[in-house]
Structures are given as structure tokens and as C-alpha cells.
Amino acid sequence: MPDFVFIATIANSLRVTTDIAKGLREVDRGLQTAELTSKLVDLMNALTDARAAVLSVQEELSAKEQEVRELQEKLDLREHMTYSPPFYWLEKDGKRQGPFCQQYYDSEQRAIRLQEETDDQGLWRCRTCENYFQSGGRRPRQTLADTEDDQY
């Protein structure tokens, strides 16, 4: 959130701008062109400062709104993710989605969907960490990297 000093600065810039504008409205008809030009320059500078400050606050508020959205999504995921060994499932609105990788959800709170292996019933693979998970409570099969040295 923008601090109160910054917001006070914006308010002051707008007050100065308003005061200059009021002064221009009350200018005597006999005022010299140079003095009028000087007041107009002051007005434009004050407006520019106020606009820059407002844009800065808008950018900061937008960043905070994005952060709140991301935190809300994480909270929503946490509330609806359930663990049924060896998988995580997303249960929302009476529907069950998944399964999701246990390693990624436990370590990074990321829901990485597992892919079912076509050659082996009940075997699921995480394409991100390359771990295998077996449904039915059996131990997961070793990854390809774990078995490469055993080929000969």
C-alpha cells in the first residue's frame, strides 16, 4: 500500500494546483503577460507532479491487487486439495480432478497433473519431476534415470 506521506504529497500537489488555478481566475486584467505565463508554467508543473504521483499509486495498487489474487488462488488450492495416497486430488464443487504429483505439491504447492502410462494399468507419471506413482497403494516404480545404469 502506498504510504500516507506519499498520499499527502499527492494531495498537497493537487491543493497547490487548485490554488494556482484560482489565482489565475482572479488575475487582474492588467497583469503582465510574463507573470501570467509564469503562473501557467507553475500550474502545468504542479499538474504534472500530481499526475505522476497518481500514476505511481495506481501502479502500486495494481501490483498489490495482483499479489492478492495470487495469494487467493494459493489459498483456494490449499482448501480444495486432498491427499489420498499416493496422489493429491483437487475436489471442488463435487468434482474430483487429478491426480496431482505429491512431490510438487508438498515441496512447492504447485498442482502438476500426473499422466497415466498406457502400457501399465494404474501407473502414473509426473512429466515434470519424472517420478512414477502406482495406484492401489503399491510402491512407485523407479524412474528411468534410476534404472539407466542397470542396462548391462
91 and 122, same domain (yes or no) = yes
End residue of a domain, out of 47, 78, 109: 78
What radius of gyration, in Å, describes the C-alpha atoms of the chain?
31
Cell of 104: 510438487
102 and 56, same domain (yes or no) = no
90 and 65, same domain (yes or no) = no
Q: Which residues of the chain have pLDDT under 70?
A: 1-4, 24-31, 119-120, 136-152
C-alpha to C-alpha distance for 50 and 12, rounded to whole angstroms: 9
99 and 126, same domain (yes or no) = yes
Residue 143's domain comprises 85-151
pLDDT digits (tens, 9 = 90+) for 106-146: 888 889 999 888 766 778 888 888 888 887 644 444 444 44
13 and 31, same domain (yes or no) = yes
72 and 99, same domain (yes or no) = no
Largest interatomic CA distance in the chain: 102
pLDDT of residue 129: 87
End residue of a domain, out of 22, 50, 78: 78
C-alpha to C-alpha distance for 81 and 89, rounded to whole angstroms: 6
